[in-house]
Structure 1
Amino acid sequence: MRTSRRDLLKLGALAAASATLPAFASSAVGAPIDKAARPLRVLILGGTGFTGPFQVQYALARGHQVTLFNRGRRPSPEWPGEVEQLHGDRDTGDLKALEGREWDVCIDNPTTLPFWVRDAGNVLKGKVGHYLFISTISVYADGSKPGITEDAALARYGGADAMAETRDSMMADMANLYGPLKALSEAEAWKQFDERTTIIRPGYIVGPRDETDRFTYWPHRIAQGGEVLVPGDGSDPVQIIDGRDLGEWVIRLAENRTYGTFNACGPDYRLSTDAMVHGCHAVTGGPVEFTHVPTQFLEQQEVSLPIWVPSDHDTYGGYGAVSNAAAIAAGLTFRPLATTVEDLLAWFRSLPADRQATLRAGITREKEKTVLDAWRASHGRVG
């Protein structure tokens, strides 16, 4: 079974579940970061998950004052500067720590439920000059065609009043409700913060600190060498964005007071499945043989491979080729694929051995061999 729309709807939900680990800088970044022209008071809702620490690091390097608001259930990384920590619980509406305060910008990282945005608006309206909401490309109603732009129709929420439902009732079916709830949250953001709002819609976020292993599967598997199963004919487009590129761009959007809606997908060229696996191999080295297996056969074998989106699928084929023109025009830049792969592997190899031994995405070596053998057998070939 290949990547499904159900899988795609879980993009942000999986990323939000990432454990807090030490922040990780790029091995390619050595030049000092210039200070911003004007220091900002930055409030980050969340801040200790996947991309939040990259926002914090970059904001501090640019000379901004940073305040985090979260439940305090995860230990914060060692920050390279002073960071104010406020605690509360958005599930219960406890935002007292934010009352009577003002900030230049608020970055809302973890929100999926629209009443979280409403409650934040009740406290922060008129108290922040700019509100940036991290959404997802899963908000789009039709993902069948490539080139999805920011003005495409959004998914509709078919349940009862989302503001009246409990968190538990909605989270119980998050795989199906994730996109529609994010769309409702976007609408609430515009309602609460009007034209001072920025909506950012990422796709697959990858790189160091990614606990989902969706992209990690590929460089990790390729580094092991041998025969590697590659889905389709290798021409399907792949879109990924390094979490550091996303986090740093968010801070630059805040500095420039850039409002509007943007698809935060990368890279800035067409990356095919073949280019992705060969790009990983260019970093890992070693003897590797790539064997393509057609989409239909993989579906028959119930094989699920991460990141890959078959471009000819009539429901979600366009999710691998979302338009990022507006984001690039607004200053989104991308690290080289090789940098992401190198740093990701270095981070992953720093994890405990038992964690490295059990990937959370992809297929096992045994399953891969079984499928490859079955593919050869179906064509009268052996081994």
Structure 2
Amino acid sequence: MNILVLGGTQFSGRSFVEQAVDAGHHLTILHRSPEAPGLPEGIRHLIGDRDPKDPDNKGDGLGAIKQLLDNGERFDCVVDMCGYTPRVVRESCELLKDHTDLYLFVSTISVYPVSPDAQPSEDWAWEQLVQLDDEGVEEVTGETYGGLKVLCEQVVHEYFPDNHIIPRPTIIAGPHDPTDRVTWWTRALSTLDAVIIPEPPAGLAQFVDSRDLAAFFLKCITENITGTYNCAGPQPGLTLHQFINQAHTALNSSTKLLEAPHAWFKEHDLNPSRDIPTWIPDEMQSVYKVDYSKALEAGLENRPMGDTLRDVRAWDVDRGEPDLTAGMSFDRLQELVATHA
């Protein structure tokens, strides 16, 4: 198949590109970096920003795609890995609407409002999803991200009403993860004498391996599986404590797990999602209650969680264990461990 990827050099996009090339597909990638280390050979690279209004655009951007289209090229699928604002997504859809059979737009479970008890489903109407007070906003923040993705999805529906694929992933984990949310745990459980964890119950946990997500994308494209799909894992009903304990076992860890009441974390000014990655407050538990049965029925296959965790740890060691972008520092954590003891 002839596939155009918008983005595709980072994390889940990289996983998709690698798998698509391995499967023998022809890939063209539009991205901003003149260098894209680690990607397979045989890819056609187009350099530039997809946003025509970007003043820092260093390449041809959408103009490079237009030149291909003007020369008669047609794509079997467009994979949009980096659409964050409806204006920019509309530019791409308008250009490609008559030149592709499928349009895959990577969205997010952040399109669903957070609550303690809801179980978000693809059946929810637009009105039930996150709404923005100002639909013209283009700054992507924690407050606008979900609402902007909703508007992007609506644009894709407008241009590709019957031939869209819209995966809504939960937290994504795996090698090359720039967020370090799961990496924080794999490093902590591999290098520290002790960590402090919230005593149960501490809610649920969900994530999907970037490589499993990429495999699902490729399956949908090659088998013409259209529609919207919540993508999560690694196993239904996984609790935070099951995640931590299974990680402890998978990594053959000797780290002591010291439990503390939730009030203890508040007393020490610790924020669940900021300082203890993957732990979220009770009022936000719907984030980990996403119904992903539709994706499982369509062919999403989640690998054993231990495989993901061991691979993340190996990648982290291979990259030299740089400073983490998630969670409290380990120095701070060890100070708290001493206080707790």
Superposition TM-score, scaled by structure 1 size: 0.79
2:50 to 90, 94, 98: 90
Instruction: List, as ranges, runs of 4+ consecutive aligned residues in structure 1 with deviation greater than 3 Å.
Output: 369-374
Q: Distance in 2 between matches of 1:223 and 1:349?
A: 10
Whole-Å separation in 1 of the counterparts to 2:164 and 2:44? 24
- Deviations for 1:59-112, whole angstroms, at most 9, x for unmatched residues? 122221111112234424240x41111223222254111121310101100111
Aligned CA distance change for structure 1 residues 345 and 102 (closer, same or farther; 3 Å): same
- Find the partner of 1:252 among 219, 226, 230: 219
Q: What amino acid is aligned across from residue 246 of structure 1 in structure 2?
A: L
Measure, in 2, the Cα distance between the counterparts of 1:198 and 1:236: 31
1:266 aligns with 2:227: no
1:107-161: CA deviation from partner (whole Å, max 9, x where unpaired): 1001111112100111100111011110111111243324211123111111153
Match among 33, 42, 52 for residue 72 of structure 1: 33
- Identify the residue that residue 14 of structure 2 maps to in structure 1: 53
Distance 1:49 1:147 in 2: 30
Tell me if the contact between 2:114 and 2:285 (Cα under 8 Å) persists in the aligned partners: no
Question: How many aligned positions are there?
Answer: 322
The alpha-carbon distance between structure 1 residues 296 and 69, as it changes in their structure 2 partners (threshold 3 A), is: same
Match of 1:103 in 2: 75
The unaligned stretches of length 5 or more in structure 2 are: 54-60
Is it true that 1:190 corresponds to 2:157 in the alignment?
Answer: yes
Gaps of at least 5 residues in structure 1 are 1-39, 377-382
- Please say if residues 225 and 286 of structure 1, whose CA atoms lie closer than 8 Å, have aligned partners that are also in contact: no
Q: Which of the numbers 280, 288, 309 marks the counterpart of 1:320?
A: 288
Deviations 1:284-303 (CA, angstroms, capped at 9, x unpaired): 22422212222233123221
Look up the match of 1:358: 323
Q: Do the aligned partners of residues 365 and 61 (structure 1) sit closer, same or farther apart at CA in structure 2, a change above 3 Å counting?
A: closer
8 A Cα contact 1:41 1:64, kept in partner = yes
Q: Match of 1:91, as an amino acid?
A: D
Q: Counterpart in 1 of 2:109? A: 137
Distance 1:221 1:132 in 2: 36
1:251 counterpart letter in structure 2: L
How far apart, CA to CA, are the structure 1 residues paired with 2:101 and 2:42?
A: 22
Question: AA paired with 1:201?
Answer: R
Q: Deviations over 1:157-179 (max 9, x none)?
A: 111535xxxx5xx24xx121111
1:338 aligns with 2:338: no
Q: Are residues 280 and 142 of structure 1, via their aligned partners in 2, closer, same or farther at CA, if it must alter by over 3 Å? A: closer
How do 1:256-295 and structure 2 match up within 5 A?
256-295=223-262
Q: CA deviation at 1:268?
A: 3.2
SS of the equivalent of 1:186 reads helix
Hey, what's the Cα distance between the residues in 1 that align with 2:322 and 2:13? 27
How far the C-alpha of 1:366 sits from its partner, in A, is 3.5
Taking structure 1 as reference, are residues 160 and 344 closer, same or farther at Cα in structure 2, changes over 3 Å only?
closer
Q: CA RMSD in A?
A: 1.9
- Give the TM-score taking structure 2 as reference length: 0.89
Letter in 2 for 1:90: R
